[in-house]
Amino acid sequence: MYIYDKFDHTITRERVAEFSQQVARRLTGELSEDQFRPLRLMNGLYLQLHAYMLRVAIPYGTLSSKQVRKLADIAKKYDRDYGHFTTRQNIQYNWIKLEQVPEILAELASVEMHANQTSGNCIRNVTADQFAGVAGDELEDPRIISEIIRQWSTFHPEFSFLPRKFKFAVTGAAKDRAAIQFHDIGIQVVKNDAGETGYAVYVGGGMGRTPVVAPLIKPFVARTELLSYLEACLRVYNLHGRRDNMYKARIKILVRDLGPAEYARQVEEMWPLTRAAGVDIEPAEEARIRAFFAPPPYEKIAEPVASFVDARAKTRAFAQWVQTNVHTHKVAGYGAVTISLKPIGGIPGDASSAQMHAIADLADTYSLGEVRVTHVQNLVLPNVKQADLFAVWQRLGEIGFAEANIGLVTDIIACPGLDYCSLANARSIPVAQQLSERFADLDRQHIIGPLQIKISGCINACGHHHAGHIGILGVDKAGQEFYQITLGGAGDETASIGTLLGPGFAGEDIVGAVDKVVNTYLELRQAPSETFIEAYRRVGATPFKESLYGRR
């Protein structure tokens, strides 16, 4: 993991001191709310329905066990004993008191954490593949370039007042587990024909009211030139992105209006200027950062691991959990465990302080002290020996997080929705809970196979509904909650935007409607191996429309 140097420590401490003074001036009335609001947003502090909400950055979703314990302690001491892991790989606290925020930020700084740039029109927290460094299919650990981007973008003076917020995601593998094409800039580690490692750059993707799959703007940028290229991408946007209309201010609108080719041309024209400015990283500095992500000291373990094979054979529930929740590790004898924060009927992404402490203990005992956050609102223990998987599974069962449902129909993304969020039009979490209960039967979940349901409580799409195989969007219809269904979205390397099926459903009808969609899929699939998204792409929306609305 990256460890702060004196510069990181200094700027983090200085920011805490600065914001603490701003909070004090707000509390005395020296600053008005209009003056204070942009300042608090720069520090991740929102006002939601019930209280302030603090969004804490988890760069590229990587946490040490010490940081997880601190997050747990903050939840207990300053919040209501829980936190909410988000689709941006961050954590949000829902019941924060303004007067305590300086203390919280100081506590975060003590473990090299902060809430900077988790809001506002700046470059937000960089997200990455949760299996970074342990996935067998990656070309390079995406956290290396993610950390370099983090440092470059932190308090970047030119990009602190962009037309709108700006989000990066990075994958080190061709298999996209970070939804890079739904980000303002998505980066994929690639090799060119000469066998050199560099980056493919996608620009102008996003969700919200105008969902766009990002076009590939540059197939290959050399490793040592990426920052100047990104700076050119941002500068073109900063100069020409619309500031007159917040709904048209994201880079996706600029790229769409210019056309990808013209946008790419303008970036190329700008690039020599940013390159000449010397923004690119020096090889020695790149090597220094790279070293933080060197593989940990793995043991040499021969497969098969007898105790693991034996436990799978003897305990069916464990075998099912291994099938869905344990990802192949690049090192023999290890596995990467996804901890499902989706217990049946639970709140997606929520974890209590006790659960967080238990996970930190598991990380120390079994996973070399490391935890990851996924954009699907789950956690990962990236380095578990296969011989330890049974013990990890048992302990997760004790804290209610051993659901064997990763990638299945109950592994649902849900934004906080109208239960917490001041922007929401409808509740998301209760819909997720009811769907989870409806599809609770694990054998049926396995029969249904891979299926991603994603729920947003408003058009801002924090719940990624556009990228759901089944997407659900909550809307307000004359004061009542209604839910629209989209089908065929995908957030992986085959990225696509879901198609709206038809009129929305009342809250009491949405679960039945989704059940009908699933049953229609089961009836029309050609074989159990044909997944929901494959079947949808083969047959289109019509059979699903007919099952929901009848023939027209």
Partner 1 sequence: MAQAKSQNKILTGNRLRNGETVYYTAAGVWSPYVAEAKVATTPEEADALAKIGAAAYAANLVIDVNVIDVTPGGAANPAHIREVIRATGPTVRADLNKPVTPPQR
Residues that bind partner 1 (CB under 8 A): 26-27, 29, 32-33, 47-52, 80, 95-99, 347, 418-420, 422, 424, 427, 429-430, 433, 478-481
3-class state of residue 468 by DSSP: coil
Q: Sign (positive/negative) of CA torsion 142, 145, 151, 153?
A: negative
Alpha helices for 277-334 (secondary structure H): 283-292, 306-314, 316-325
Residue 99 Cβ vs partner 1, minimum distance, rounded to whole Å: 5
In what helix (H) or strand (E) does residue 479 lie, and over which residues does it extend? none
With vertex at residue 56, the alpha carbon angle to CA 50 and CA 57, rounded to the nearest 5 degrees, is 150
Q: Which helix (H) or strand (E) holds 127?
A: strand 127-128
For residue 515 the two structure tokens come to 């059940």
Taking the least distance from each CB to partner 1, the nearer of 141 and 403 is 403
**Shortest distance, position 510 Cβ to partner 1, whole Å:** 15
Give strand pairing partners of 168. Answer: 185
Shortest separation between residue 433's beta carbon and partner 1, angstroms: 7
Nearer to partner 1, 9 or 50 (CB): 50
The separation between CA 172 and the C-alpha centre of its own chain, rounded to angstroms, equals: 15
Q: How many CB atoms lie within 10 A of CB 491?
A: 28
CA distances from 205 to 182, 185, 256, 463 (A): 4, 7, 10, 16
β-bridge partners, 191: 197
Residue 49 Cβ, how far from partner 1 at the closest point, in Å? Answer: 5
Cβ atoms of 146 and 389 within 8 Å: the answer is no
In the bound state with partner 1, the residue whose beta carbon lies nearer, of 169 and 356, is 356
Q: CB of residue 79 vs partner 1: minimum separation in angstroms?
A: 11
C-beta of 27: minimal distance to partner 1 in Å? Answer: 7
Q: CB of residue 91 vs partner 1: minimum separation in angstroms?
A: 17
CA 292, CA 8: separation in Å to the nearest integer? 15
Assigned token pair, 75: 């939840």
Q: Are 448 and 518 in contact (CB under 8 A)?
A: yes
Select 118 or 146, whichever has its Cβ closest to partner 1: 118
Give φ, ψ of 355 to 5 degrees: -65, -40
Radius of gyration of the chain (CA): 23
Shortest distance, position 477 Cβ to partner 1, whole Å: 10
Residues 380, 363 contacting (CB under 8 angstroms): no
Query: Which residue's CB is nearer to partner 1, number 254 or number 347?
Result: 347
DSSP 227-284: HHHHHHHHHHHHHHS--S-GGG-SHHHHHHHH-HHHHHHHHHHHHHHHHHTT-SPPHH
Minimum CB separation of residue 479 from partner 1 in Å reads 4
Looking at beta carbons only, is 133 or 346 nearer to partner 1? 346
Of the pair 33, 244, the CB lying nearest partner 1 is at 33
Q: Provide the minimum distance between the beta carbon of 33 and partner 1 in the complex, in angstroms, as a whole number.
A: 5
Nearest distance from C-beta of residue 445 to partner 1, angstroms: 22
Nearer to partner 1 (CB atom), residue 80 or residue 243: 80
Please give the structure tokens belonging to residue 426.
Answer: 């409808």
Minimal distance, residue 475 CB to partner 1, in Å: 13
Nearest to 271 by CA among 308, 227, 208: 227
Residue 459's SS3 state is coil
Q: Round to whole Å and give the CA distance between 328 and 306.
A: 17
| Smallest separation, CB 422 to partner 1 (Å) | 8
Which residue has tokens 């990890």? Answer: 392
Alpha carbon 503 to chain centroid, angstroms: 29
* Rounded Cα–Cα distance for residues 504 and 300 (Å): 55
Specify the residue, 279 or 423, whose C-beta has the smaller distance to partner 1. 423
Shortest gap between Cβ of 24 and partner 1 (angstroms)? 12
DSSP state of 295: P
Angle at 50 between CA 163 and CA 114, to 5 degrees: 55
Q: How far apart are CA 382 and CA 380, in angstroms?
A: 6
Nearer to partner 1, 228 or 436 (CB): 436
Q: Which is nearer to partner 1, 12 or 433 (CB)?
A: 433
**Half-sphere exposure of residue 267: CA atoms within 13 angstroms, side-chain side:** 26
- Name which of 350 and 370 has its Cβ closer to partner 1: 350
Of the pair 16, 347, the CB lying nearest partner 1 is at 347
CB 227 within 8 A of CB 280: yes
Nearer to partner 1, 28 or 245 (CB): 28
